[in-house]
Amino acid sequence: MKRRVRSISLLFVLATVGLVAIAGCGGGGSSSSSGGGSSSFASGANAACTSANKQIAALGTPEQDEVLSYLESTEGVIEKLHKEVAALDPSGAAETAYAEGLATAVPILTDMTNAARNENFDAVRELSDELIQIHLGELAEKAELTACAEVPTAES
């Protein structure tokens, strides 16, 4: 019974990480990847997000014993995305807020990976909650970064 609860909890987290953290972290947007922003920041960020989304989608949905490698891969993708977005030098308030939200998400993902490495799945779940509360998807939408607000579909 305990095992079942843990399994469910874990999958909940993974679903959340896969669908929330990654492709712009939780906004509601469409699946369009054309990008909505008008600045060079927007086009650059959307391109970076499109690439990140593809990489995350390619990771699929992990089994329980694949959690750590899944999170490690995810962390790498998001860290790269963060660096690319930060390098674009956001100008407007919404763009800056999105970039800052991404920066906040990266260490939380790192902590989630650390917690998974040490088999503390309660902490993974807790951290995933922190991740969601950044509302990155909403921040992406406000910055008109449609690709960054996109929810990728995991490849099976």
Partner 1 sequence: MKEKDLGLKFWAAVAVSAIGMGVAIAFVAGFFLGHFTGHHTTTTVVAGAPAAEEATLEETETAANGIKLAPEFTSDELNAEAGDNWITNGGSLTNDRYSSLDEINTENVKELKGDWMTKIGQNATAAKFSAEGTALEYEGTIYISDGADDVYAIEAATGHRLWTYEPHLPPDPLGEVVCCGWDNRGVAIGDGMVFVSQLNGAQVALDQESGKVKWSTPVVKPKSGFSITSAPLYYNGRVYVGGSGGEYGVRGRLTALDAKTGKVDWRFYTTPSPSETGGDTWPNNGSYKTGGASLWNTPTVDPKLGMLYFSTSNASPWVGNARKGENLFTASIVALDAETGEYKWHYQQVHHDLWDFDSPSPTVLFNGEMNGEMREGVGEPSKTGWVYLLDRKTGKPIYPIPEVKVPQDPSQNTWPTQPEPTMEPFSPIEATPEAVEKTEEAVSGDKPKPKIVGSKIFTPMSSDPTSINLVANSASGGDNWPPSSFDPEKDMYFVCSQAGALGLVVPPKPQKLVAGQSFIGSDTVVSSGFNTTGFLTAYDMKTGKIAWQNEFEGESCYSGAVTTAGGLVFVGHNNGDFVAYNAENGEELWSFQTGAGANTTATVFEDEGEEKVAIYAGGNSLAATSHGENFWVFSLNGTVEPAKGEEAEAEGTTHAGEESAEEGGEEAEGAEEGAEPEEGGEEAEGEEGGEEAAAGAAPNAEEGKEVFAENCSTCHGATGHGGNGGPDLRTMPLAKTQEGAEQQVTNGGGGMPPFKGVLSEEEISNVAAYVVEDIVGGK
Tell me which residues touch partner 1 (CB under 8 A).
4, 7-9, 11-13, 15-16, 19-20, 26-28, 61, 64, 100, 103-104, 107-108, 110-111, 113-115, 117-120, 122-130, 132-133, 135, 137-138, 151
Nearer residue to partner 1 within complex by CB, 34 or 133: 133
**Shortest Å distance, C-beta 142 to partner 1:** 11
**Shortest Å distance, C-beta 27 to partner 1:** 6
**Shortest Å distance, C-beta 55 to partner 1:** 19
Q: Is residue 155 within 8 Å of residue 60, measured between CB atoms?
A: yes
Q: How far is CA 64 from CA 8, 11, 42, 81, in A?
A: 10, 8, 36, 26
**CB neighbour list of residue 63: distance below 8 Å, 6 or more residues apart:** none
Nearer residue to partner 1 within complex by CB, 16 or 43: 16
**Shortest Å distance, C-beta 84 to partner 1:** 16
Closest C-alpha among 95, 101, 105, 102 to residue 145? 95
Residue at 11: amino acid letter:
L
**How far apart (Å, rounded) are the C-alpha atoms in residues 63 and 143?**
34
Closest C-alpha among 64, 72, 74, 68 to residue 19? 74
**Shortest Å distance, C-beta 35 to partner 1:** 19
Nearer residue to partner 1 within complex by CB, 7 or 34: 7
Nearer residue to partner 1 within complex by CB, 20 or 52: 20
